[in-house]
Amino acid sequence: MNLRPLLAASAAFALPFLIQPATAQRAAPPPAPALDPQVAVLRDAALKDDVAYDIVEGLTTEVGPRMAGTEAEARARAWGLTKMKALGFKNVRIETAMMRTWVRGVETGEVVSPFPQKLQLTALGGSGATPPEGITAEIVYFPSFADLQRAPDGSLRGKIAFVSNAMVATQDGSSYGTFGSARFVGPNLAAKKGAVAMVIRSIGSDHGRGPHTGQTNFEKGVTPIPAAALSTSDADNLSRMVKRGKPITLHLTLTPRDLGMTETGNVIGEVPGTDPDAGIIVVGGHLDSWDLGTGAIDDGAGVAITAAAAKRLLDGPAPRRTIRVVWFGDEETGGAGAEAYFAAHKAERHVLVAESDFGADRVWRVAFKLPPAASAVGDRVYAALAPLGIVRSREAAGGGADVAPLVRAGVAVIDLNQSGTRYFDYHHTPEDTLERIDPVQLAQNVAAWTAMLAVVANAPEALDPAPAK
């Protein structure tokens, strides 16, 4: 092949770009602020941290699954109280609250016709129950949640709705919000359209037979229907059956129960600050978990990372601001832990919140929502994190479910975003176990949190709109 015409064409195409003025080039960023050497020392020492792994290993081994509002969550609180005291935190206590508690029962499913076979599924939190003998009904197939939304009212009467939208992995986890509607509100919508039950393709990025549970929500006045998540493999198989063009009948047995009002609670410990007028920084994750796995990545890792980082400041010179570590109770089934904390502490001066609840893989991005007068604090935090391979987000931080009431009240927030590429392979599944945690990536999290806390806990600037006294 004669390459000369192609080379000539390439040169002609490239020439206009080669002669662009220098102003078309990206400008150099402003110089990073000088980093306090002590922050760097703390950060780098944390890369060898083993406290976080010890916490999550102990929690998953000695307590295991910790369904909110159950006896298992109560054992987790007692375990957490003992652990925080052993780590040396001050003012350690449990603050209890009441919540409405749902627990699963029998859960089985099978294709009755035309291709009989068992299905791997699990009830969604808040699901209604079938009779003890189960129900048998024909499915109505919806490739996406949007297709279910377009179904006419009453069109699902006596049927089982099946939504098969397939979630894909993304680093920032944004696909969870996109595809999760099928779980979050799908059963409520199906019930309003007359369905007797609903099954969904699990909201996960894996391709296996472990189903993903998670909470679903019914509006006041809507009677909860039985609702289950099929494993992604079983859902894909059921979709292939649909393509055969024959009516498909399922038999489902789901017997969850509502226990009424039971106790949940938050475990709290502190790193006392030297300046009581400088405000409180709240960090943490949620202590409860779903019951299929042992809650290692969701959210044993989060409580471990934040506590391990705070302990590194606890073991050194006292910071200016108090750091309050909160292991929140119910998060998975409605957020009673967050609401209880806010009700008890809303009158206190919180100046910053940060939450870890996205597994244990490495932090790759930091986002800020700080008052304008504290913008330099964000610059210093980023300068401390950049050597860990962390980039700065162009979007504002939003916090997470456990700190949402404080964020809504106007408290500043920093997000340390972990990589979510594999998180939804295991999220809410039997595979959420200690084996999913990489100790090296876990330690990188601790280093990032340690650096962030070392900067913000000692920053001279006010972190909230109200000036420090």
User: Residues with catalytic annotation?
Assistant: 331
Report, in angstroms and rounded to the nearest whole number, the Rg of the chain calculated over CA atoms: 25
Q: Token digits for 169?
A: 């992995």
3 state DSSP class of 102: strand
C-alpha to C-alpha distance for 189 and 159, rounded to whole angstroms: 13
Q: How far apart are CA 212 and CA 206, in angstroms?
A: 10
Residue at 440: amino acid letter: V
Q: Which long-range contacts (CB under 8 A, 24 or more apart) does 34-41 make?
A: 34/383, 35/380, 35/383, 35/384, 36/380, 36/454, 36/455, 38/454, 39/384, 39/451, 39/454, 39/455, 40/384, 40/387, 40/451
Contact 341, 287 (CB under 8 A): no
**Cα(183)–Cα(198) distance, integer angstroms:** 10
Rounded distance between C-alpha atoms, residue 297 and residue 434, angstroms: 8
Quote the crossing angle between the two packed helices 71-87 and 301-314, to the nearest 10°: 20
